[in-house]
Amino acid sequence: MAEFSKSAVNKETGIRHFFAAAGYSWGGFQRLLQESAFRQELLFAGVALILLIVVGATIGEIVIAMVLFLAVFAVEAMNTAVEEVIDRISPEISNVGKHAKDLGSFAVLCMLVASGIYVLYVIGSHLLFR
């Protein structure tokens, strides 16, 4: 009988797993900070939240905006991951790689548009209808 080989990666369990996962997340955040698109999205979120507070948005409206911004950041992280993997496995220009990158970019655009529409709606409703 053949023995199964052990994984090269030592998986942590319990509380060590929690701290390891937090460290990986922090590393991902630091990597995203190197992306100008992510820094612009952070600025957009900050300005939008300030505007929502200034116009008197409710806590619920602000929470929804924050959830949308977190979704933007998550999609941006996935888009960056796709771009890095494509660049690593296929450094030459290919249609498949281009399509994968374009689809990731479109996903980010969709989330930005959704967030922008929501923020404009809330700001408009507080300025025009109250």
Give the active site residues: 76
Check: CB of residue 42 under 8 Å from CB of residue 113. no
Return the DSSP state at 5. P
CA distances for 128 relative to 30, 50, 64, angstroms: 40, 18, 20
- Are the C-beta atoms of residues 69 and 48 closer than 8 Å to each other? yes
Q: How many residues does the chain have?
A: 130
